[in-house]
Amino acid sequence: MPRLLIIAILALSTMFPSMALATAQIPDRILIDGQDYALNTNPLTPRLVASGWLPPKEAMVSSANWRGYTASWEIADGKLVLRDATILVAGEEPGDYTPKSILGDLFPSAAAPVVADWYSGALIVPDGEMTHYVHMGYGSSYERYQVLRIVAGRVVEHVRLSADEFERYKADKFEAFTATEEYRKSLEELREQGDALSDEQLRNFMMSYYAEQYLSL
């Protein structure tokens, strides 16, 4: 997660605990075995942060899409591939927006689809019916989940879990994460950025917003 975004979330958590990322986010989409799903992870973000990309002025950025783009993905031949990335730009009529591909701008020398070899982490894919709506980030709950662990663009594990199994899976992975040097360093950084929060609050913050990291263990 980008450092400035962490600081912003921590600030909101400190001042208004119920308002951090207080709008449900429009997700990326992913094709798995030919079926389309929402994707509660943004695998393009590390690449964009590394390249210094910012949404162009013409892009519509809203509270429902703070990243300023949406991407479509597919699992193909055991790899995570990027099929397209788009921004919304103003149309001819007021309030009318149309999607515009930015894939060629982001990867001018690569043909689509692009293997996401920059990405290592966990993809969280909600599956089935929504069971509880939360107007914040990707906080809503679902009947089932799929979790795909990715290493340099390759799928190394793909598990399908019920909602209860997913919660136990997350808890076990987070406990393993707390024993790592990455956790220790991240906690120290968060203490500096959110000095108004207790260690328990920071731990809860990490369990909510660091799932991409610890589920990849």
Euclidean distance between CA atoms 127 and 42, whole angstroms: 17
Q: How far is CA 125 from CA 68, 131, 145, 149, in A?
A: 21, 15, 6, 11
Q: How many of the other CB atoms lie within 10 Å of CB of 143?
A: 12
Q: What is the pLDDT along the chain (217 residues), one digit of tens a residue?
A: 444 344 444 444 433 333 344 577 899 999 999 999 999 999 999 999 899 999 998 998 888 888 899 999 999 999 999 999 999 998 777 778 899 999 999 999 888 899 999 999 999 999 999 999 887 678 899 999 999 999 999 999 999 999 999 999 999 999 999 999 999 998 998 888 766 778 888 888 888 888 989 999 9
Exposure string for 84-120, b = 16+ CB within 10 A, e = fewer: bbbbbeeeeeeeeeeeeebbeebeeeeeebbbbebbb
Contact in structure between 82 and 113 (CB atoms under 8 Å): yes
pLDDT tens for each residue of 154-176? 999 999 999 999 999 999 999 99
